[in-house]
Amino acid sequence: MVAREEESSVLVNEGVVAQVMLNRPQALNAINADMLQSIIFAFERLQRDPGVRVITLWGAGKEAFIAGMDIPAVADLGPRPMAEYVELGQRAMRVIETCRVPVVAAVNGFAFGPGLEVALACDLIVAGQTARFGLPEAELGVVPAFGGLQRLLQRCGVGAVRRLAFTSDLIDVQEALRLGLVDIVAAEGELNQVVNALADKISKQAPLALTQVKNVLRRAEEQVLLAGLRREVESYLKLYESADRQEGMHAFMHKRPPDFKGR
């Protein structure tokens, strides 16, 4: 079955190798609540299908996997709606992370903020030559809230987390490969072929064995991960009420440098 509603923020192709397409190319696939809800629905549905053996996750268009958070949609939310939004984002990442089958992120273009967090929730990351990665939340006066600090720490170590989170640096695909953030880099114009070949190879392995591999690996670090995820939520919500957060997000929307006061 193929979902093709024009207004849908997530499209799904089902099959042995299922495909989930994040579908807001006009907004560079920026994350909003509708997309998060749709991600949860798509992954919960696919993992109930016994015919699905691997899922590939894509961003529509050529410019971005996910360019970041939909800032205008959240900049003026009150504390309670913002808390609900952050909890929804964390739930969406956990649905990806705990999916019974392997999930491969196919990163084309920008994967910033929540975009990198979505990729980190996947089991493997394959990137094209134009891929760029970063956690620029400090420029907005906040911290990553969907598990980016925790999962980047597990994948790349504390040095990489400090560099990306302290500086808001946006790194290219070769630097991401060096840090261990990316598993495979596809040659120019070959992202589709590389991702599909990898997914096909995974789909031919014993599915029960792959599920157990995922379970073992996840449980090895899950206690630390879950505690860290809660701290991210608490830190984000604390910062959300700060003057610096308001300044950072409104400066972003008005395309001007922020003037942070440390309060």
At 66, list the tokens: 């996910």
Bridge pairing between strands 110-112 and 103-107:
unpaired
Q: Which residues are catalytic?
A: 117, 137
Other beta carbons less than 10 A from residue 176's beta carbon: 25
Residue-wise over 134-172: b if at least 16 C-beta within 10 A, else e? bbbbbbbbbbbbbbbbbbbbbbbeeebbeebbeebebbe
At 96, list the tokens: 């990806």
Instruction: Please state the φ and ψ torsions of residue 241, each to the nearest 5 degrees.
Output: -90, 0
What is the amino acid identity at position 185? Answer: V
State CA 95 to chain mean position distance. 12
Q: Is 201 exposed, middle or buried (0-12, 13-18, 19+ CB in 10 A)?
A: exposed
What distances in angstroms separate CA 221 from CA 42, 150, 227, one per listed residue? 26, 10, 11
CA triple 171-113-252, angle to 5 deg: 100
Cβ atoms of 1 and 53 closer than 8 Å? no
